[in-house]
Chains A and B, each alone.
Chain A
């Protein structure tokens, strides 16, 4: 993969921060956008803008074709059986809320929902709200010392049992980088009649996705982490399951017939897409999917894998560096979270920013995980297809500088 040529398609990567070139290592937060995606969104607004489905004129037909075409592209990208299995939402959080609301509609006292301590808040809070409403019990996978799901403890506790109705797990942790064995856990969930929901936000952008092989019932992810625009997320669900699920938001375009007493609802996916959807954003997501497919998801995964192994070796050699998560690039995404001895993540972020290195400091919307790890917060560097070895070197140099700035004992 020619990363230098790829980078030329991302205009923002040419920016400078003061005297330093921008080193963007915050792609797990949001990815940068290639020119083709920027152009696709702009062209839609310049030439094809109209509302979808309801506008019957020429532009309406063009916009509808573009919107539904994007749905088909996303379906093909993730190996979905048919485009109608792809529901467009506002983001992954909304998709997970939809799953919790509609899939959880029948839950009551005695039922159990299982999540894990490594989840992003967006895969915790919707289930907490559901369990409060339904009187159901929320249970948690713990993690092992090296940041993997603790499957033995889960087995010993009979975490997944005949009372389990829903299991919802992240495919790849946004903090630890850990890739979870979703197919195995989905099989366990299905064996007790439970549904498997997957937060794919940190996985789908970085590797080939085959939702059928994954074995999940619902997979949620977001466009802006995969070179697409903000404002659009995806919920994929097995069609027969979606067809059973009640609506989430009510409004225009999700109905069949509205009477004053009651309404009947459209078939999936439109049942779950109330109101005017993110049309230009869907077009941008379609362009992002074409872009990623053109580069090749296998090549992106291989590049990131090699880069992650390089970064882990380089960073863990820094004295005072503590890694959160697996130290080997095995079953692992490219997010690398850490702490520097004696320096708070906010201060790491500030010093790195002053040298052009953009990373994230804080709890990364995973406070229970940080509590579990005994860290108040952490610093995270995250790579993508455009990240270079030189940028990892710049990060490592900036971290040594930062450590010495705050902790004089390291100044030799």
Chain B
């Protein structure tokens, strides 16, 4: 297994320069997700603007895979309709659980296609999913709050 398949340049770039990092106001819901096996921790806030994801902000500590994935996730979901953001989560999860069988759609996933290689490293899939699981949790809680 070539480690360069895992550490794509896109991932390392996002790891060094995280997008949308730092906790911001306003927000509807704040969640705290951890990966108990490695200790990665993520505090994430979501602000919904009607049916659109108005903002995602976060404070995260963790490995390059979890940090880059959260950064790219924020790029993808901010400003996107909530239903589409949740659909992206589901598709990303499917790709991550495919053991490398599925290739993500570049038009929809943009920088997140770099994670196709992560699916071949089962121990790291949880790292790639940390931010996505947190944002899904926060969006669902925010929707429940609105109703």
Contacts and interface: CB of A to CB of B under 8 A. Distances in A.
Interface residues of B, number: 21
A363 interface: yes
Contacts of A350: 3, 6-7, 121, 124
B38 A361 contact: yes
A358 to B, nearest CB: 13
Contact of A346 (B1, B41, B124): B124
Interface stretch (B24-32, B58-66, B75-83, B100-108): B58-66
Interface string B108-133: 00000000000001001001000000
A354 B3 contact: yes
A345 B62 CA distance: 9
B37 interface: yes
A376 B6 contact: no
Interface in A84-113: none
A350 B2 CA distance: 11
A376 B41 contact: yes
A346 B38 contact: yes
A347 interface: yes
A363 B61 CA distance: 13
Q: Specify the main secondary structure of chain A where it touches its partner.
A: helix
Contacts of A363: 38-39
A171 to B, nearest CB: 25
Contacts of B65: 346-347
Contact of A345 (B63, B67, B124): B63
B12 A406 contact: yes
Interface string B1-21: 111001100001001000000
B61 to A, nearest CB: 5
Interface in B35-70: 37-41, 61-65, 67
A350 B120 CA distance: 13
A225 interface: no
A340 to B, nearest CB: 12
A392 to B, nearest CB: 22
Interface string A343-373: 0111100110010000001110001001000
Nearest to A405: B7
Given A350-B121, A354-B3, A376-B61, A370 B12 contact: no
A377 interface: yes
A134 B6 CA distance: 49
A350 B6 CA distance: 9
Contacts of A347: 7, 63-65
A405 B4 CA distance: 10
A159 B127 CA distance: 40
Interface of A: 18, 344-347, 350-351, 354, 361-363, 367, 370, 376-377, 405-406
16 contacts: A18-B1, A344-B64, A344-B67, A345-B38, A346-B40, A346-B62, A347-B7, A347-B64, A347-B65, A350-B7, A351-B3, A354-B3, A362-B38, A376-B39, A376-B62, A406-B64
Given A346-B63, A346-B127, 9 more contacts: A344-B63, A345-B63, A347-B63, A350-B7, A350-B121, A350-B124, A376-B61, A406-B15, A406-B64
